[in-house]
Amino acid sequence: MGKLELLQTLTGHVGRVWSAAWHPGGKVFASCGEDKTIRVWTKTDTDRWVAQTVLTDGHTRTIRDVAWSYCGHYLASASFDTTVAVWDKKSGEFECNATLEGHDNEVKSVTWSRSGNLLATCSRDKSVWIWEINHAPDQEDEYECVAVLNGHTQDVKKVCWHPQEDLLASASYDNTIRMYRQDLADSEWEMLEPLESHSSTVWSIAFDVTGKRLASCSEDKTVKIWQQYGPDNTLGIPCPERGTVWKCVCTLSGYHSRSVYDIDWCKQTGLLATACGDDMVRIFKEASDSDPNEPTFELVVTIEAHSQDANKVTWHPTVAGVLLTTSDDGEIKVWQYVDAD
């Protein structure tokens, strides 16, 4: 077993805090919520997190998600006002330098590709959009929508890029996960076969550090682990021509008493964290004798992290075991995971 030690509780947002995202350097993070603001937090000399900047003029409704680009120069925010704002500090202060319009309904999630030149968004309008970014020196950045993908039949809750490749995954109210890849022959974005196993809304998804595994969490109170298999796999799993397939290799059920709203995979330790509608945060660790094709995970932490729904869990990008959580209770908490062994 392990434990989560609370390092700091951060207040300032009014109403629920939907999301938070670490800057890739790990010395800054951003948070967003119902109060239509983004807060950018930095550490003081005394090792305390403080809101250095509050961005108030980007959106007219709830901000549902924030994401930093891998280079760390851009912050994107997704809002119920149907737009995505892109912020940067080229002038020295954070400014909204692009507003991406096109979705017909609330935008639920935004994510940057590893390559840095693609941004993906998803919405209650059931679509996933892929935007190409043209960064030109001494000129304004240009954002062009290069694909509108209509594979889902319901509200799309989450988009997530693969950690190395330009492979995009999305999760939806239609109980499925979809993946998208660019066809190199004609540059068109194609939809791969849906990942079907959950019996209700898939709220969130996260790739592990290798990109060969995907974790998903759902309204059905389960977490599922999906494994990627290529044409040369030893199990004889058939793969489409030139492609790979994703198979559900593990279901974690019986641990959560309500909807599981978010999930994240620690890049350093492989620990899985979940945020749940029962106000709890849970951490799972893969067993040491786990079979990669039929993995087993142990629940190592269950903690009442908040006084209302836990909405977001996100591990620190460089420091092992540091976790951010956000909640409907208006608070953000910073935790340290400690192995009890």
> Which residues partner with 120 through β-bridges?
111, 130
pLDDT tens by residue, 182-211: 988 888 999 999 999 999 999 999 999 999
Which structural domain range is residue 49 located in?
A: 3-338
User: How many alpha carbons lie under 13 Å from residue 72 in its C-beta half-sphere?
Assistant: 9
**How confident is the model at residue 242, as a pLDDT?**
65
Mean pLDDT of 65-76: 96
- Residue 337 in this model has a pLDDT that exceeds 90: yes
- Burial environment of residue 206 by CB neighbours within 10 A (0 to 12, 13 to 18, 19 or more): buried
Query: Residue 11 and residue 237: Cα distance in Å, rounded?
Result: 50
CATH value at residue 281: 2.130.10.10
**How confident is the model at residue 185, as a pLDDT?**
84
Mean pLDDT of 159-174: 97
- Burial environment of residue 56 by CB neighbours within 10 A (0 to 12, 13 to 18, 19 or more): exposed
Region of residue 72 (left: phi > 0; alpha: psi -120 to 50; beta: else): left
- Residue 56 in this model has a pLDDT that exceeds 80: yes
Mean pLDDT of 281-288: 97
The one-letter amino acid code at 232 reads D
Q: Between the CA of residue 331 and those of 11, 31, 33, 85, 307, what are the distances in Å?
A: 5, 10, 10, 23, 9
247, 226 Cβ separation under 8 angstroms: yes
- Residue 314 in this model has a pLDDT that exceeds 90: yes
102, 129 Cβ separation under 8 angstroms: yes
20, 330 Cβ separation under 8 angstroms: no
- Domain total of the chain: 1
- Burial environment of residue 132 by CB neighbours within 10 A (0 to 12, 13 to 18, 19 or more): middle
Structure tokens that stand for 273 in this block? 């964290």
pTM of the model: 0.96
211, 232 Cβ separation under 8 angstroms: no
CA nearest neighbour of 214 among 264, 260, 175, 261: 264
